[in-house]
Amino acid sequence: MSAAPLPTLMVVPTGIGCAVGGYAGDALPSARLLAAASDFLITHPNVMNGAALYWSDPRIHYVEGYGLDRFAAGTWCLRPVRSQRIGLLLDAGIEPDLSQRQIQVAEACRATLGLDVGPVLRSDQPLGVSLHSGPSGASWGSLERPDALLRAGERLRDAGATAIAVVARFPEEPGSDALTSYRQGSGVDALAGAEAVISHLLVRQLQIPCAHAPALAPLPLDPQLDPRAAAEELGYTFLACVLVGLSRAPGLINTNAALPGDVHASQIGAAVVPAGALGGEAVLACVERGIPVISVANPSLLSVTSEVLGLTSGVFQASSYGEAAGLIVALREGISPAALGRPLPPLQEIQ
């Protein structure tokens, strides 16, 4: 008889240049492996969104980053659903032709994948996205008109949408050194930080699943393109993966309104996180609860390690996501990860 599912949290922070997960959907193979090992994986759009590519797996629960933090903190729980009705929010700053491309993707997902998409609403003002980077090189962003974003989100919710896909017009620098480096595998996703701002605002305000896709003009062909960047250059939009992810994203429910079958933070069996990015709210909430944390070697711009945080117990080191999957199986089977290493330290007798 197989062991019971082990609800596992997988976090790859946005905009910090992770070797795995720093591009659109390049952490998907690792997520699929962890889902197979645990049979119940909770992760966020940065891991799952592959632009024109996606992977639908009933074992993987698609939860926006702000919602993931609230879930791990125990404020919200997750309610599995058969489907969501996805409202499409388009930035008024998107040019007509590019806007029509987004609508055609939504129509394709309705006709070909059977998703419940609609209504569609344009914001009453251009959102005015700006891109920035911090001293570490990590990306972040801001909006000139967050009020226009929230008004549009509220109107979609009131019109019956149970999840929201946002497409905002992002600024472009097609010849910049930063973009060239990113496309060739040595840069940071300049869009990711601003995308997180947009989705966090909506989820915090509306408490329904939301995710973002940027509107950008197609780039010229680059023969030196890194394979991790290739998914972002297959089509005119990044929207398809967002619609698929949101189509079965779990509902976000206040813990005091939970029903039988809802998933609570107390059920998390393990958290899998890049070794240098252990300082996030969701991870620290897991540490506080005594949930095992698997720290994976996944280089990024950050160095917030277990040593820096003074975490002396409950953190297991993994050299890859393959090794992390093995540790998940051990935990799921009730095998102490310490028993797998050598030398095996002797038992300590309490005096």
At residue 56, does pLDDT exceed 80? yes
Domain of residue 39: give its range.
Answer: 8-80+254-338
Strand order in the sheet with 117-122: 117-122, 86-90, 163-169, 210-215
Alpha helices for the chain (secondary structure H): 28-38, 45-48, 65-73, 96-113, 146-158, 177-183, 192-206, 239-247, 281-289, 306-309, 321-332
Cα gap 162→87, rounded to integer Å = 7
Measured CA to CA, the distance from residue 273 to residue 295 in angstroms comes to 5
- The confidence score (pLDDT) of residue 218 equals 87
Picking from 125-129, 179-183, 279-283, which range would have the lowest pLDDT averaged per residue? Answer: 179-183
The pLDDT assigned to 170 comes to: 93
| Shared domain check, 296 and 272 | yes
Residue 345 within a domain: no
Q: 152 and 51, same structural domain?
A: no
Instruction: Looking at the structure, tell me whether residues 244 and 286 fall in a common domain.
Output: no
Q: Answer with the one of 226, 252, 278 that is the final residue of a domain.
A: 252
The percentage of residues in the chain with a pLDDT greater than 70, rounded to a whole number, is: 99
Please say whether the beta carbons of 341 and 316 come within 8 A. no
* Confidence band, pLDDT 50/70/90 cuts, at residue 337: very high
Within this chain, do residues 210 and 115 fall inside the same structural domain, yes or no? yes
26-40, 200-214, 332-346: the lowest-pLDDT one: 332-346
Q: What is the pLDDT of residues 132-167, one digit of tens each?
A: 888 888 888 999 999 999 999 999 999 999 999 999
Residue 246 lies in a domain: yes
Give the C-alpha separation, 239 to 86, whole Å. Answer: 12
Tell me: pLDDT of 229 over 70: yes
Task: Determine the distance from the C-alpha atom of residue 8 to the mean position of all C-alpha atoms in its chain, rounded to a whole number.
Answer: 14
* Pair (241, 323) in one structural domain: no
Which range (54-63, 180-189, 314-323, 336-345) has the least confidence? 180-189
> What CA–CA distance (Å, rounded) separates 113 from 134?
39
Q: Is residue 245 scored above 90 in pLDDT?
A: yes
Same domain, 213 and 320: no
Domain assignment present for 290: yes
Q: How many domains does the chain have?
A: 2
C-alpha 15: how far from its chain's center?
11
